[in-house]
Structure 1
Amino acid sequence: MNVSIVSNVEADHCTETVATEEAVAPLLPPPRKRTRWDEATSFAPESRDHHDLPENGQEALASLNGREGRVPAETAALPEAVRGWCRTATDETFARRALSKGVAPEHTLRALLQFKNAADASERKAALRVLTTSLEHKRQADAVFGALIDLWQHDDWKASALLALERALPRLVAAAGQQIKPYASALLEVAILGRMDAAPKIPEPFTGRSAKRSAVASAADTVHERALDIHSPTCIAFIKTLSEHAGLAVMIQAIRPWFESPDNQVRQHSARIIALLACIWGFGTLEALLESMLRSQRYGPLPRETAALALCSIALMDGPSVRAHLPTLVRMAQRALVDPEPLVKLAGARAVSALAATASLSEAVLLEPLRAPLWDGVRLYRDRTLTAFLAAAAAIISSMDERERAYQARSLLTPTMQAMRSTCPVRILEQLLELGQFPPELLMSQVLPEFHEMCFIKPERAVLQTASHHGGRRRLARVAALLAEDLGAAAVLTDQVLRCLSDPSVPATVGSLALETTRHVLAATDGGYDLSPADDQRLVQGLLQWLQAPAPTPYHTIVSIAESLGERLVPWLETLGHLAMARLQSPNGSTRTEAARLVSLLVPIWSRFGQVEVLGRLGTVLAACYSEVYPEALARLLEALATILDALATELQPRHVPFAEILSRLTLVLRNPAEEVQAAAVYLVMVIARHAGRNIPDTAWLRVAHEMRDTLGAQRRRVRYRAVEAYGWVARVLGRIETLVGPLLSVLQQSDRSMRIAAAVALAIAAAQDLGSVLPLLLDAYVTEEDKHIQTGVIKAIGFLCSFSGAMKRVWDPVQVYAVTRLLESALVERYETHRQVACETVGHFALALVDQGYEEALVHLLDHVWPNYIALGAEVSDSHLTHAVEFAVRALGVALGAGVLHQYLAQGLFHPAKAVRGLYWPVQRWLGDYFGGMSSSSSCLFALAGPECPEACL
């Protein structure tokens, strides 16, 4: 066609379009301002929904869009059910696009958006049920997974939604079954990489060195933060379920482009998936794949590196199972070690380390072919490749005999010390010192000077990076401790090391390393008694310098050093007391908090060496801490005060310690809403009650018990447990325990369930101390109070009491037994289901508490009321709390009454013509046979009856 003709046609078309738009413009409303919503959804201002236009404007727009007047579906109105779950502009864009392209029906889109934007777990469960129903019964895998993959790639997912999706993926894949095969590749890319490439590009072969590799790797896309953690159990379960339903071939085809990816993290993930597939399908099914990857030359060294990484992952994940394939794995690792590419050698050395750790001592002969390339690599390479070869060689050395091990460890010691300056393989040095038996002259001449210079005199950069982390610092200190075991503490803790403790010009990392080294050396040498008095003095001065530092102080390390010094610390205990007292009075809240922690840790040392005056002065300072404004500082101060009072009570008479005054001022602290303060205050109450309970009036204890009611409803379990234990100590102190019942019964009226349970436990503890006075009050409260919470709490308290009675071996009084029986009889006929559930649990504990005490008549009476509740459950399997409570009561009554009595209730329904009835009776009969040793024990009692009377209880 002529170019002029085409241009004329295009010009006429443009002219006609402009004229049409000018004709329509008076009919359209004025353009509105572009908003952020429009920018986020990429909607043009003129592409509004057609229902927003006037009638004439709709006709004009219909003429623009075609004969039928259809509006583009991306701008059409969403259904109300779908729109209701759109929380962002991205959600609405996704829903419009999915409906326009027919990707998924309306109910599937609604379920996906509900799962993504749900506010609680119940809404997500409802959405998941809809999706699984669509997959299992409607066979709509195309709709569900097509829309899910598109929605998953959006950036507006919350962390809770991603976690719920990770847990739901195995269930969705299992529901889809064989339908998941077309979506296996896309699911893996989105789940493991967090993104999906439309056309994965296979890179060119790598012919350059590390510069080109770094340039390609920096240009490659990294794994997105939406990706799932491949090491998590839920992600492993997803991969396992996907491989079971999609098949091994589909999984390998899905991750095949990852083997040559320039992104190292993608290759790591592909190696991990190969290892998982080897664990699932067996190593033999993937042996050919790994062999072909190790021989690959077309795409450079990347597939070979991926295969070596997969070998390492297989050995780490499925170590005991790969022993049968150890010769094949060793041959593959040897091929990776002799590869010309350094990165493949590095991955192969790491695989050798994993294989050597997996192999047993009898299989060490199979590792012999790896020794020559490993020792050649130790002589040739540097930096991280040398570290990997050293680690592999050290792992192989551990499986040798003692003589060969010592020789090979000595040959690896020199290159390991050289590598310490660049990569700091401290783990390898620690392993060599543990394996090899080095003479002290060698350690003193070659290892110890180098270690001191690299760590303390002229710290190397690699050593400082390792020491900046707690794990690396602990390993370096462990190496120093191993050297001290052979050379002594005085040889390791030299002037340079002790100077790092007190010199403020030393970097903080070196000072922390010196402190950790001192701790491990003293612990390894039994306190380091070969240190001179001058070294002891410098060491203590360094500890005092650390305690005066404004930065956060490692108090546990300092206290451990102080405990190792023992009696040599006695001259400085007074100085430590003055220092702690000064820091307790500091205007800085964090300083006071750390000082209180230090006091709590040092109190055993002061108490062991009889420093009562120091403890008394510190206790006087801490007793005035009630005006502390910071909750954390107040909690630590109260705990320190409780520790000091506990220590002083063993050294002094209770009348010499102002317990009463401290308790009287503690009632205001118990009202503090901070739970950490409540926990510390309750602990202080327990200490006072344990040591000076009888010396304080009952009115003070009642006041404290009244104030402790709020602590029973704390969110933290530790606070509730402490509160219950404190009520037990208060109950032991009070002569009239019934005075505690009133405050605790008022707690049962609260709406918080955890608070009511804690109050019920406290009532049980109080009743266990004096059952004769507390039980009538509980029975009276059950009868007189109409509040269901109080009645349920009373029954729970009696259940806890019966549970405690079994361990206490309490002998019940007949009046108490029949009174509790009457109460439980009334509770078992309540219409309130929770009431009957708690009553059945209490009946079970009550029956176990009365075993062999001669109250079978009362227990048979309770069984007559429990059995209708059991019959009412029906034959269907239920997971309700009432079902478990009734079954527990029936079995506990069977234990207390014997097999013969319970079999009378079972015989009437074991052979009933209705299956529902038989299904209710036979589970108890099976338990009866398992518990009592077969059918003979129960049937013999039944057929030996002489009359209709109830047989005696027999086991």
Structure 2
Amino acid sequence: MDAVYASYYTKEVMYVLIREFQSPDEEMKKIVLKVVKQCVSTEGVEADYIRSDLLPEFFRNFWVRRMALDRRNYRQLVETTVEIANKVGVADIVGRTVEDLKDESEPYRRMVMETIEKVVANLGASDIDARLEELLIDGILYAFQEQTSDDANVMLNGFGAVVNSLGQRVKPYLPQICGTIKWRLNNKSAKVRQQAADLISRIAVVMKQCQEEQLMGHLGVVLYEYLGEEYPEVLGSILGALKAIVNVIGMTKMTPPIKDLLPRLTPILKNRHEKVQENCIDLVGRIADRGAEFVPAREWMRICFELLEMLKAHKKGIRRATVNTFGYIAKAIGPQDVLATLLNNLKVQERQNRVCTTVAIAIVAETCSPFTVLPALMNEYRVPELNVQNGVLKSLSFLFEYIGEMGKDYIYAVTPLLEDALMDRDLVHRQTAASAVKHMALGVAGLGCEDALVHLLNYVWPNIFETSPHVINAVMEAIEGMRVALGALPF
């Protein structure tokens, strides 16, 4: 509708709407809220008109405790209020609701917190003046401390959103906030401890902005002391908080120092809980990436053995983080020892474990240059065991996929091995070798390795009569790769 008409008709409708605000019927309330949301979002409806005519009645009739008890009303009210805030700005809405963060009714406090979180996340906090800022921090601290229900996320998200959008203006309140967090980290309820740790990871970036490195260092020591936590959910959150602090404070300024922190993490890697595994491996990977020199090589080797177990994890994210960590460790202490550990792992029975090991070998090759890995890898192919040989071929496949055009220096070295594999009686050998040939051909297209590729094509081509779907798929892809690298014309 045209803006002028929209403005006119909204004003006409508004009398009826405001009259219906007082309706006791739940269905009516939902409809009224929907209509208000639509009217407010229409072009041509001015903010001043909403401020003067709509807001007082809206807050008087809808922002009452009863609305927080019915789930659908609650959702609709939050959405409508956020829409009004988009029109009239943050200060009006937050100013009217901030006192309610101290209401006795917890569901109501939660509804207020969710609204403030969404409004502030949408529109930022630049409109909020100093007095409102004080009230807001006071309110969210109160609501955070007084909560009793299990649904901790709303308070956590709200607190995080407000602190992050206020940014450097939070500096004067940080000692108080951190005091609250430390107090709650010691609570007897596991949920409360977990939430306090989660809050640290939400506000770590802001603490860095406010140059509160000393305070963060202190929190790091406190969290370090809680690494003996028995509940895995809480331990996962504590590791997450430590990770957030390490990320922003850096390796050199971290307290406790990295050389003390890492040995405490090694036994935690044995924990089989997914959240603990994920946060622990992320933290260890970050240290291996940025601060490996603070830790002796012996400790890194110890970690390598623990990491092999983590390749059995169900969650793909954990396996991926583990494989990347192998790369960081190899970069830090040289590939030889790490590679020996990984090559031994190719002898195990579990397929998932072997596949992840092959990816790890390829990543080690990429980070430490392929010539450090290829001799040992090709030597391993001489072990007369299917699993090991397939593992080597798969490693070569991933390796050539990762290194791309660096592969041109290594084609002549691996050609005899691939010849052997492409003539092997075992189907899987031929399939994996074909996949390696594909990646090799695609990596070196146009780099003058055509002689080796034509030679390999002679070994790939006879497999065109295969019937097994996996093998024929790999062979066709290898031929497609060759088509890219060699072109259509015969040499």
TM (norm. structure 1) is 0.48
The superposition leaves residues 185-244 of structure 1 with CA deviations (integer Å, 9 ceiling, x where unpaired) of xxxxxxxxxxxxxxxxxxxxxxxxxxxxxxxxxxxxxxxxxxxxxxxxxxxxxxxxxxxx
Displacement after TM superposition at 1:854 (Å): 2.5
For 1:788, the equivalent position in structure 2 comes to 386
| Distance in structure 2 (CA, Å) of the matches to 1:751 and 1:594 | 41
**Aligned to 1:452, which of 43, 59, 83?**
59
Letter in 1 for 2:61: M
**Aligned to 2:16, which of 402, 415, 427?**
415
For 1:850, the equivalent position in structure 2 comes to 444
SS of the residue 2:270 aligns to: coil
Displacement after TM superposition at 1:833 (Å): 1.0
Displacement after TM superposition at 1:412 (Å): 1.6
| Distance in structure 1 (CA, Å) of the matches to 2:445 and 2:263 | 45
For 1:478, the equivalent position in structure 2 comes to 82
**Aligned to 2:457, which of 836, 839, 863?**
863
Residues 14-413 of structure 1: pairs in structure 2 closer than 5 A: 400-413=1-14
| Distance in structure 2 (CA, Å) of the matches to 1:721 and 1:777 | 24
Q: Quick check: 1:882 aligned with 2:471?
A: yes
Q: Quick check: 1:541 aligned with 2:141?
A: no
| Distance in structure 2 (CA, Å) of the matches to 1:757 and 1:794 | 10
Higher relative contact order (CA 8 A, sep 6+): 2
The superposition leaves residues 488-522 of structure 1 with CA deviations (integer Å, 9 ceiling, x where unpaired) of x443334x62221023x2x2332122223323444
| Distance in structure 2 (CA, Å) of the matches to 1:889 and 1:859 | 11
For 1:465, the equivalent position in structure 2 comes to 70
The answer (yes or no) to whether the contact 2:200–2:241 under 8 Å persists in 1 is yes
| Distance in structure 1 (CA, Å) of the matches to 2:471 and 2:82 | 56
Q: Quick check: 1:593 aligned with 2:191?
A: no
Q: CA RMSD in A?
A: 2.2
| Distance in structure 2 (CA, Å) of the matches to 1:788 and 1:653 | 49
**Aligned to 2:172, which of 565, 571, 574?**
571
The superposition leaves residues 913-938 of structure 1 with CA deviations (integer Å, 9 ceiling, x where unpaired) of xxxxxxxxxxxxxxxxxxxxxxxxxx
Residues 383-782 of structure 1: pairs in structure 2 closer than 5 A: 400-420=1-21, 421=23, 422=25, 423-424=28-29, 425=31, 426-439=33-46, 442-456=49-63, 458-459=64-65, 461=66, 465=70, 469=74, 471-485=75-89, 489-494=90-95, 497-503=97-103, 505=104, 507-523=105-121, 526-531=124-129, 533-548=130-145, 549-551=147-149, 552-553=151-152, 554=154, 555-649=156-250, 652-653=252-253, 658-734=257-333, 736-768=334-366, 769-782=368-381
Letter in 1 for 2:261: I
The superposition leaves residues 69-94 of structure 1 with CA deviations (integer Å, 9 ceiling, x where unpaired) of xxxxxxxxxxxxxxxxxxxxxxxxxx
Question: Aligned residue pairs: how many?
Answer: 480
Letter in 1 for 2:402: F
| Distance in structure 2 (CA, Å) of the matches to 1:657 and 1:799 | 42
For 1:110, the equivalent position in structure 2 comes to none
Q: Aligned pair in 2 of structure 1 residues 749, 472: CA closer, same or farther (>3 Å)? A: farther
Letter in 2 for 1:810: M
Q: Quick check: 1:819 aligned with 2:413?
A: yes
SS of the residue 1:900 aligns to: coil
Structure 1 segments unaligned to the other structure (5+ residues): 1-399, 902-950
| Distance in structure 1 (CA, Å) of the matches to 2:257 and 2:432 | 44
| Distance in structure 2 (CA, Å) of the matches to 1:774 and 1:522 | 52
Displacement after TM superposition at 1:879 (Å): 7.2
The superposition leaves residues 637-678 of structure 1 with CA deviations (integer Å, 9 ceiling, x where unpaired) of 11111111121117x547x75111111122111111222221
Displacement after TM superposition at 1:716 (Å): 0.9
Structure 2 segments unaligned to the other structure (5+ residues): none
Letter in 1 for 2:325: A
Letter in 1 for 2:106: A
The superposition leaves residues 813-844 of structure 1 with CA deviations (integer Å, 9 ceiling, x where unpaired) of 3xx32231111111111111112111110111
| Distance in structure 2 (CA, Å) of the matches to 1:615 and 1:856 | 58
For 1:900, the equivalent position in structure 2 comes to 489
The answer (yes or no) to whether the contact 2:457–2:479 under 8 Å persists in 1 is yes
The superposition leaves residues 835-861 of structure 1 with CA deviations (integer Å, 9 ceiling, x where unpaired) of 211111011111222223332222122
The answer (yes or no) to whether the contact 1:467–1:513 under 8 Å persists in 2 is no
Q: Which of structures 1 and 2 has the bigger CA Rg?
A: 1
Letter in 2 for 1:402: A
Letter in 2 for 1:545: Y
The answer (yes or no) to whether the contact 1:502–1:541 under 8 Å persists in 2 is no
The superposition leaves residues 512-541 of structure 1 with CA deviations (integer Å, 9 ceiling, x where unpaired) of 22223323444555415353x333222111
Q: If each structure's helix is expressed as a fraction of its own residues, which one has the higher value? A: 2
The answer (yes or no) to whether the contact 1:748–1:793 under 8 Å persists in 2 is yes
SS of the residue 1:493 aligns to: helix
Letter in 2 for 1:889: A
The answer (yes or no) to whether the contact 2:285–2:325 under 8 Å persists in 1 is yes
The answer (yes or no) to whether the contact 1:848–1:896 under 8 Å persists in 2 is yes
SS of the residue 2:489 aligns to: helix
Letter in 1 for 2:346: L
The answer (yes or no) to whether the contact 1:760–1:793 under 8 Å persists in 2 is yes
Displacement after TM superposition at 1:605 (Å): 0.8
| Distance in structure 2 (CA, Å) of the matches to 1:510 and 1:567 | 29
SS of the residue 2:293 aligns to: coil
Q: Aligned pair in 2 of structure 1 residues 626, 445: CA closer, same or farther (>3 Å)? A: closer
| Distance in structure 1 (CA, Å) of the matches to 2:415 and 2:123 | 65
| Distance in structure 2 (CA, Å) of the matches to 1:547 and 1:740 | 46
Displacement after TM superposition at 1:567 (Å): 3.2
Work out the percentage of aligned pairs sharing the same amino acid.
Answer: 28
The answer (yes or no) to whether the contact 1:455–1:463 under 8 Å persists in 2 is no
The answer (yes or no) to whether the contact 2:293–2:332 under 8 Å persists in 1 is yes
| Distance in structure 1 (CA, Å) of the matches to 2:159 and 2:42 | 30
TM (norm. structure 2) is 0.91
| Distance in structure 1 (CA, Å) of the matches to 2:400 and 2:340 | 21
